[in-house]
A and B are shown apart, each in its own frame.
Chain A
Amino acid sequence: MTAHLPVLQVVIPLLAATLCAVARRGRIAWGIALATSWTAFWIAIQLLARVQAEGPISYALGGWAAPVGIEYRIDLVSAFVLVIVTAIGAVVTPYALKSVEREIDTTQIPLFYAAFLLCLTGLLGIAVTGDVFNVFVFLEISSLSAYSLIALGQDRRALTAAFQYLIMGSIGATFIVIGIGMMYVMTGTLNMADLSVLLAELGPNRTIAVAFGFLTVGISLKLALFPLHLWLPNAYTYAPSAVTAFIASTATKVAVYMLLRFFFTVFGVVFSFNVMRLNIVLLVLALLAIFSMSLVAIFQTNVKRMLAYSSVAQIGYMILGISLASVTGLTAGILHLFNHAMIKGSLFMAMGCVMYRVGSVEIEAMRGLGKKMPWTMAAFVAGGFSLIGLPFTVGFISKWYLILGAVERDAWPVAGLVLITSLMAVVYIWRVVEAAYFQEAPGDGASGVGAIEGSREPIVEAPLALLIPTWALIVANFYFGTDATFTVELAESAARTLFGLVP
């Protein structure tokens, strides 16, 4: 049984998704999704423990050995990503119950959970597989289900957002598959380990250089690297709350994982950074992303959209860490994968609580919520502290390593920019704080801004079913910010693995 955990990690959510699709009632589908997401989380932890103890796991799918068959290969990096994705899944599913019932048609709820589990399947598949074409297949599974999840948003603009994402995402996927095809033409293999050996033997080669270019663009589109991020703000803004919380914390992270996989494992550090100079491209784009998107976030009036732009900036931090091309920098990037998942997950979940009671996430609608929804807004403020990077939050840990990486390279302007953009985060978080704590709620009797249309129910604290998962993530933010030795050591050995050093 335990030997098959790598494949069960993917197969269980896949099968459960079909069960959800045939379930008649939303609550049954939810029950299946809950059991699945927690099982997946448990499997991921088992896998991580095994990788830590015994080294990388190789699993031949269906008993067909690589390179003929598909190899599932789990090393520290993939095990870490599996834990991130499944942990967020395990927290978001309990949260989804009430949030989804409020935001989505009853008849569509079973299908929602089916799509949700498919998305989970795809994301987990990308992380476990050691086969580049298999990566593409899982990428499409996760993307297609993500498009449909986003389209389920209440607002009609969710449809255009999903369509926009569909077009951009498909272009990205096409680029990726073209890149994979070129590599296959040149080497005749799709297995990552095999590819890395054959590509190195091949030497300088124009086709491979072009394949590299296609993959760079395709993956950058998927991870919303500036300026290929245009699909992201709308998608995050109009998706149902639970979907935003899930996708914002996982999908782009897995795309960053793909980037690491392709450029470190398949192409190799030397080719990617010394020959193709990818680090310079990434550095410039990351800095642009961090600065410009933090600036744009300041001027948003919709808090979810604000957080979405902030996400693009935060992805910039991860890419910045990678582009420093040092162990410390890469450690920072991998750490921020984990840390940002918790930060944005908790912030978007807090906004989901607001959506549940107030029916709007415009800043205007936050007025006076500090008194009416004290726990929700306290969660937002705490998550905001983490985003800013105050001590004892995970955001601080990420910033520490990112700046240390920059200082090691004597890249002073980079260190300065990271610090300045942290202050920009103070500005956009504080706009919400001021609205919530310093402004009076719109007068009662009148149908104030953002009140659910036709409903007269007074705004009170969000239900515990939403608050508990939100606060679970907030606590995680502070726990892993107070005792970060575990995550830091993990990220550091993962970074060493990627550089081909002994961990």
Chain B
Amino acid sequence: MSPGTILGVAIALPLIGAIAILALGKWPNARDAAGIVTAGVLFTLVLRLVEPIRAGLRPEHPILEVLPGVSLSLKLEPLGLLFALVASFLWIVTAVYAVGYMRGHHEKNQTRFFAFFAIAISAAMGVAFAGNLFTLFAFYEAITLCTFPLVTHHGTPEAKKAGRVYLGILLTTSISFQLLAIIWTWHLAGTLDFQEGGILAGTASNGLLSVLLILFFFGAGKAAVMPFHRWLPAAMVAPTPVSALLHAVAVVKVGVFTILKVSVYVFGVDLLGTLASTTWLAWIAATTIILGSLVAFTKDNLKARLAYSTISQLSYIVLGALLANEWGIIGGGMHIVMHAFGKITLFFAAGAVLVAAHEKDISRMGGLGRTMPITFGAFFVGSLSIIGLPPAGGAWSKWFLGMGTLEAGQVGLLAVLMVSSLLSLVYLLEVPVRAFFSAPPEDAHLGDGIHEAPWPTVVAMVITALATLGLFLNPGPFYELMTLVVN
């Protein structure tokens, strides 16, 4: 298969997987095996794209022309490949985890769940390999719609309400800001293609382009920059595998990925640095970083705390893009990877606690470390990565982001990064510390010995936790990809 064809197949494959899942609905084992196999094949396919990228190839794969001059078209470039690698690899792990979780938690409508999950991955691949803004927008909207049934999976009034917030914010931002920005770009530049160096330079005055940047910035509602962040905590009503892969990796990263991609390939780093609104928007991201961390403090529900932590961490990536220099872009891209592995570990652990001990609140997790040592051990490692401490991978991305702030001469922003890391140190490590060292609540009935969640969930957690450690020792491949983006 030529690299161009692989791009198309990578989008089609999860759809085929979804059909297989629906067809095998009556045989749960075969159905879940189909999901895992699809995920595995997808990852090996995406892996085959690394060589062409290293060889300097940027294959394009036009699919069809929707409007005169506006087409659905795919293009391979390093940033997209980085995102696709992360999402497809973590899909395998999540597919394994989900089997243990959904069965252990006795969830209903599992076939529908797994099918929509696969469709969401297909759309995520579409975003990763989008060759122009229209294609990106189309898959961006597809993700919103096909994750809606996952968010509202339980069908309760609470889920319905969360679904409204989810859809309301995501569609409002994408339709009223992003679509407008795209049509405006089309009007100004006459093209929507992602090109190295950008397409907007010299097309309009600095003031107008600044407004356009603001539209793109808030149009990527999935990046959860305040004040458009409420959908993310709302989405936590979904089953944990959804929160883990979609609301810590695929969906939210689509938002920050859009901002990075627009910064690099639509505006271009040089132009971005000259715009009046760039610094303001960077400070909005910085505000989100701090406020997200502060709100996370106040949450006793573990998933809610993780959600606000995600809001805070996503803005690191947004901030990286808006620093408009090489280190910022590299740091942002690296943080997509590092945060993905760290946060998915945390969510896996949160889900495992829910399945094995039926606990949601941090204040009631005292003593659980003794019965679930692997889970809380994994949580500890994941936390280190989010905080940015060695020996976890997160140290690298925070390092690069810090370099970026200095390069941009924004010491204030560096201080924000430091303060937020300290905050996350406290609110994340509280969980394992409590679990290992506090006494259990009085009404809890902790049995003797080890009582972990079903083995697939444990395996998944261990894999991602080990991966965060591995990424500290060898971040090279991803770093290499990101240097290809900025050069």
Contacts and interface: CB of A to CB of B under 8 A. Distances in A.
Interface of A: 385, 388-392, 397, 399-400, 403-404, 407-408, 415-416, 419-420, 422-423, 426, 430, 434, 437-438, 481-485, 488-489
B308 interface: no
Contacts of B67: 397, 400, 484-485, 488
A415 B181 CA distance: 11
B62 to A, nearest CB: 13
Q: Which of B65, B164, B167, B180 has the most CB of A within 10 A?
A: B180
B141 A419 contact: no
Given A391-B141, A483-B66, A488-B68, A438 B187 contact: no
Given A419-B176, A419-B180, A438-B160, A485 B167 contact: no
Contacts of A403: 179-180, 183
Contact of A416 (B137, B180, B187): B180
Nearest to A401: B67
A254 to B, nearest CB: 26
Contacts, number: 70
A483 B64 contact: yes
A437 B67 CA distance: 34
A344 B134 CA distance: 25
A415 B152 CA distance: 32
A438 B152 contact: yes
A188 to B, nearest CB: 44
Contacts of B187: 404, 407-408
Contacts of A422: 175
Nearest to B140: A391
Contacts of A488: 67-68
A482 B167 contact: no
A404 B171 contact: no
Contacts of A485: 65-68
Interface string B66-84: 1110101000000000000
Given A388-B171, A416-B180, 18 more contacts: A389-B175, A390-B145, A391-B137, A391-B141, A392-B138, A397-B66, A399-B179, A400-B183, A407-B180, A407-B184, A408-B187, A423-B175, A426-B168, A438-B152, A481-B66, A484-B67, A485-B65, A488-B67
B184 A489 contact: no
Contacts of A404: 183, 186-187
B155 interface: yes
A390 B167 CA distance: 13
Given A391-B137, A404-B187, A423-B171, A415 B180 contact: yes
Interface of B: 64-68, 70, 72, 134, 137-138, 141-142, 145, 152, 155, 160, 164, 167-168, 171-172, 175-176, 179-180, 183-184, 186-187
Q: Please name the 8 residue pairs, one residue from A and one from B, whose CB atoms are nearest each other, closest first.
A: A391-B138, A419-B176, A438-B160, A403-B183, A407-B187, A484-B67, A404-B183, A390-B141
A390 to B, nearest CB: 6
Contact of B176 (A392, A408, A416, A489): A416
A415 B66 CA distance: 21
B166 to A, nearest CB: 12
27 contacts: A388-B171, A388-B175, A390-B145, A391-B134, A391-B141, A397-B67, A400-B183, A403-B179, A403-B183, A407-B183, A407-B184, A407-B187, A408-B187, A419-B176, A423-B171, A423-B172, A423-B175, A426-B167, A430-B167, A434-B160, A438-B155, A483-B66, A485-B65, A485-B66, A485-B67, A485-B68, A488-B67
Chain B interface secondary structure, helix, strand, loop or mixed?
helix
A482 B183 CA distance: 17
Contacts of B160: 434, 438
Contacts of B141: 390-391
Contacts of B152: 438
Contacts of A390: 141, 145
B65 A483 contact: yes
Nearest to B171: A426
A392 B126 CA distance: 14
A9 to B, nearest CB: 30
Q: Which of A390, A397, A399, A422 has the most CB of B within 10 A?
A: A390
Nearest to B142: A391
A430 B166 CA distance: 13
A434 B164 CA distance: 10
A488 B171 CA distance: 26
Contacts of B180: 403, 407, 415-416, 419
Nearest to A397: B67
A482 B64 contact: yes
A438 B145 CA distance: 16
Contacts of A385: 145
A436 to B, nearest CB: 12
A416 B181 CA distance: 11
A407 B72 CA distance: 23
A257 to B, nearest CB: 23
B64 to A, nearest CB: 6
A385 B145 CA distance: 10
Contacts of B70: 400
A485 B68 CA distance: 6
Nearest to B188: A407
Contacts of B164: 430
B189 to A, nearest CB: 13
B221 to A, nearest CB: 12
B43 to A, nearest CB: 27
A485 B70 CA distance: 9
Contacts of B68: 485, 488-489
Nearest to B137: A391
A339 to B, nearest CB: 13
A489 B65 CA distance: 13
A488 B67 CA distance: 7
Contacts of A388: 171, 175
A131 to B, nearest CB: 35
Nearest to A402: B183
A422 B178 CA distance: 14
B282 to A, nearest CB: 25
B175 A419 contact: yes
Nearest to B164: A430
A407 B152 CA distance: 37
B66 A484 contact: yes
Q: Which of A388, A434, A485 has the most CB of B within 10 A?
A: A485
A391 B71 CA distance: 12
Nearest to B72: A482
Contacts of B184: 407
Contacts of A438: 152, 155, 160
Contacts of A399: 179
A482 B66 contact: yes
A389 B72 CA distance: 17
